[in-house]
Amino acid sequence: MKTQLVNNAPLMAIWKRKPNKGLLWHADRGSQYASDSHRNLLKQHGIQHSMGRKGNCWETLPLYLKPCHG
């Protein structure tokens, strides 16, 4: 997947919804999301970038879909 495609998603959301500064953008650790281009785009629009920990595939799932331990 190309970084430009990944950058188009927040650009469309910014254009359509006009979020307040400080919006939290959570993504996986893919190279496109870690690229300078993507990080700069988010910074330019006052969006806080968040990434999951390495190897934590359950982190971005909604709470009700996460496996229950115990």
pLDDT of residue 70: 45
pLDDT tens string, the chain, 70 residues long: the values are 788 988 998 999 899 999 899 888 888 778 888 899 999 999 999 998 888 766 665 555 555 554 555 4
Query: How large is the C-alpha radius of gyration of the chain?
Result: 14
Structure tokens at 33: 């999301």
SS3 25: strand
Structure tokens at 44: 């330019």
Cα separation, 46 vs 66, in Å, equals: 30
